[in-house]
Amino acid sequence: MSRYVPSSELVERAARGEVPAIGRLISRAEAGMPEARGALATIYRRAGRAHVIGLTGVPGSGKSTLVAALTARLRTQGLKVGIVAVDPSSPYSGGAILGDRIRMSDLVNDPGVYIRSMATRGAMGGLARATLDAVDILDLGGFDTIIIETVGVGQDEVEIAKASHTTVVVSAPGLGDEIQAIKAGMLEIADIHVVSKCDRSDANRTLVDIKQMLTLGAATSAKPEWQTPVVGVSSYTGEGFDALTRAIDRHRDVAFGTASGSRRQLAIARFRLEKTAENLLIERFAKAAVTRAPALAERLRRRDADPYSLANELLAASFERGSAHERDHHRPPHFAEDHW
């Protein structure tokens, strides 16, 4: 067994772009290892330069294929691109199913591209719990653009707009995406609307329908400095990708150089704060439940107390455990370095 390298020692290696260090830090963030939190705090303070693009859409809209084609186009501009592809969890292992990597196989040998698949593991909203930590690590590692591709489960993925500077919503002809987008709130969160597979004969109808819906919603838009474009692309022919990259470049200027962009960055920070607190609460509650829930459940079964008072006891125990847990967070775990 090789020596466990503390996370704090991996930070500078990641900052030099060393892929093994980047991978280990992301793995530790994904595993929720308390020992890594000090390093993640340091990384957060040093990050913040990359343009984060969130890409979402219903299943079958061609998100992964579009990400691969867009990344190839960004690479021609000399940009380093990090991709965090959030996959559904395997029902057997709990890990990512890795469907996205299959579609991005042409990119894996490019040293200017880093692809990481992450399992949702029960997290709602289309993001994995460590997605934003992974973005920070890739940002520190020198990646200019970071694309987050959400899991694609349908109508609960609006969180991506709270985690990215630019949100791209992908639709496709023949899937009924227009109605789906309205139901999910995805029409409103889009900074750029993309209609994929526009080489198909019915693509123009989808383009027209989405433009009409955007026109109807323009009066109530909260984006006065930006008119949401609708861009048709084809990963098969390459059509539309010049227009898409121009739209992304224009929105980057809005995101980093306007008052509305500053407001959005504040909203992203608030979302990050609340999501981190939520994850810490879930972690502490789960650990307290292992030891305290059986006895409390027995009292509830005997009706010695009511559910609300016992639930408050369980919550109080989770905070007690949290304090002790934080005192031990620098203690390295007993794992082989090959895994972490």
**Do 225 and 300 have their domain in common?**
no
pLDDT (0 to 100) of residue 225: 79
**Do 71 and 202 have their domain in common?**
yes
Q: Residue 170: which CATH number?
A: 3.40.50.300
Of 206, 230, 257, which one is at a domain's C-terminal end? 257
Expressed as residue numbers, the domain containing 283 is 268-339
How many CB atoms are closer than 10 A to CB 210? 23
**Do 244 and 279 have their domain in common?**
no
pLDDT tens digits, one per residue of 40-85: 999 999 999 999 999 988 777 888 899 999 999 999 999 999 999 9
Which residues of the chain fall short of a pLDDT of 70?
Answer: 1-2, 88-105, 121-126, 152-157, 175-185, 217-224, 321-340
**Do 56 and 114 have their domain in common?**
yes
Q: Quick check: 257 and 251 in contact, CB under 8 A? A: no
* Cα gap 132→275, rounded to integer Å: 10
85 - beta bridge partners?
Answer: 117, 149
**Do 221 and 288 have their domain in common?**
no
pLDDT (0 to 100) of residue 180: 56
**Do 165 and 309 have their domain in common?**
no
Q: State the amino acid at position 209 in one-letter form.
A: D
Residues in the chain: 340
pLDDT (0 to 100) of residue 314: 93
pLDDT (0 to 100) of residue 10: 97
pLDDT (0 to 100) of residue 322: 55
Q: Per the domain annotation, does 7 fall within a domain? A: no
Q: Per the domain annotation, does 35 fall within a domain? A: no
Q: Which two tokens stand for residue 266?
A: 């504040």
**Do 298 and 335 have their domain in common?**
yes
**Do 80 and 216 have their domain in common?**
yes
Q: Per the domain annotation, does 183 fall within a domain? A: yes
pLDDT (0 to 100) of residue 331: 52
Phi, psi of 25 (to 5 degrees): -65, -40
* Cα gap 124→101, rounded to integer Å: 22
Helix axes 37-46, 19-31, angle to 10 degrees: 120
Q: Per the domain annotation, does 4 fall within a domain? A: no
* Cα gap 46→8, rounded to integer Å: 13
Helix axes 259-301, 241-257, angle to 10 degrees: 90
Q: Per the domain annotation, does 251 fall within a domain? A: yes
How many CB atoms are closer than 10 A to CB 193? 27
**Do 238 and 282 have their domain in common?**
no
Of 257, 278, 311, which one is at a domain's C-terminal end? 257
pLDDT (0 to 100) of residue 306: 96
Angle value at C-alpha 38, between 37 and 40, nearest 5 degrees: 60
Burial label for 245, CB within 10 Å (0-12, 13-18, 19+), is: middle
Task: Tell how far CA 127 is from the center of its chain.
Answer: 4
pLDDT (0 to 100) of residue 124: 52
**Do 140 and 224 have their domain in common?**
yes
> Domain tally for the chain?
2
Q: Per the domain annotation, does 41 fall within a domain? A: no
Q: Per the domain annotation, does 217 fall within a domain? A: yes
pLDDT (0 to 100) of residue 177: 52
**Do 54 and 176 have their domain in common?**
yes
- SS3 string, the chain, reads CCCCCCHHHHHHHHHCCCHHHHHHHHHHHHHCCHHHHHHHHHHHHHCCCCEEEEEEECCCCCHHHHHHHHHHHHHHCCCCEEEEEEECECCCCCCECCHHHHHCHHHCCCCCEEEEEEECCCCCCCCCCCHHHHHHHHHHCCCCEEEEECCCCCCCCHHHHHCCCEEEEEECCCCCHHHHHHHHCHHHHCCEEEECCCCCCCHHHHHHHHHHHHHHHHHHCCCCCCCCCEEECCCCCCCCHHHHHHHHHHHHHHHHHCHHHHHHHHHHHHHHHHHHHHHHHHHHHHHHHHHHHHHHHHHHHCCCCCHHHHHHHHHHHHHHHHHHHHHCCCCCCCCCCCCC
HSE (side-chain half, CA atoms, 13 Å) at 96: 23
pLDDT (0 to 100) of residue 164: 96
**Do 152 and 212 have their domain in common?**
yes
Q: Per the domain annotation, does 308 fall within a domain? A: yes
Of 234, 257, 280, which one is at a domain's C-terminal end? 257
Which pTM does this prediction carry?
Answer: 0.85
